[in-house]
A and B are shown apart, each in its own frame.
Chain A
Amino acid sequence: GQNIDQPTEMTATEGAIVQINCTYQTSGFNGLFWYQQHAGEAPTFLSYNVLDGLEEKGRFSSFLSRSKGYSYLLLKELQMKDSASYLCAVRDLRAAGNKLTFGGGTRVLVKP
């Protein structure tokens, strides 16, 4: 089975940086996704990591360490519109097809 942990809630100030951590245990890691979900809206894809290291996409970056079972999503130059839940999801090599297991999500509140 899989276990995915991420903090429930984080608060940060507009213009600042926030790092959302995600730890996982899996029998056969095969990729990690980050999604953003605004209240009442669809989760939208942010990033995908399958190899160790940092992936940067504008203000958002995602890091992966497979040996530590650890990822983080880094949000820079925070804007009010970044207030949302951020979901970490892991694909297990031994799971059927494209099955993802999701963490509970981290609600980020950006304050002025």
Chain B
Amino acid sequence: ETGVTQTPRHLVMGMTNKKSLKCEQHLGHNAMYWYKQSAKKPLELMFVYSLEERVENNSVPSRFSPECPNSSHLFLHLHTLQPEDSALYLCASSQDWGRKAETQYFGPGTRLLVL
């Protein structure tokens, strides 16, 4: 148990569906991250929020839309996804987003399958 929870753990959706992934951290951290983990590929950073402000957007297609209503919650809204978007989506948090290297704590991920 890392203090970061994600729901749902598994999701199957069609290409025309709209769904949302939820992440919650109970660590009092100020920075939250979305990563994509595909088979046989390194973890890819998608978005970073620091104090509820988006500070990093790694050339992610607009069919992925993040939302950070407060420092404890992070959402990833999904719409009109493609089969190649099927992957494990991991949320992480760290104390801060700054010059100092901070340990990131990960949630268990949402396994997404797009049909």
By a beta-carbon cutoff of 8 Å, the part of chain A in contact with chain B is 4, 30-31, 33, 35, 40-45, 48, 50, 87, 89, 91, 96-105
Contact = CB atoms under 8 A, between A and B. Distances in A.
B45 A100 contact: yes
B45 A96 contact: no
Interface in B34-77: 40-43, 45, 48, 50, 55-56
B104 A97 contact: no
Contact of B4 (A30, A40, A42, A100): A42
Given A102-B43, A104-B41, A42 B48 contact: no
Contacts, number: 66
A97 B56 contact: yes
Main secondary structure of the interface of B (DSSP, over half): loop
A104 B42 contact: yes
A4 B97 contact: no
B107 A102 contact: no
B108 A87 contact: no
A91 B90 contact: no
Contact of A102 (B42, B99, B105): B42
Interface of B: 2, 4, 31, 40-43, 45, 48, 50, 55-56, 90, 94, 96-109, 111
Contacts of B56: 96-97, 99
A15 to B, nearest CB: 28
10 contacts: A31-B101, A40-B108, A40-B109, A42-B4, A45-B103, A50-B101, A97-B56, A99-B56, A104-B41, A104-B42
A103 to B, nearest CB: 6
B90 A43 contact: yes
Shortest Cβ-Cβ A-B pairs, 10 listed: A31-B101, A97-B97, A102-B43, A42-B106, A102-B42, A42-B108, A43-B106, A91-B101, A104-B42, A98-B102
Nearest to B41: A104
Contacts of B45: 99-100
A4 B41 CA distance: 12
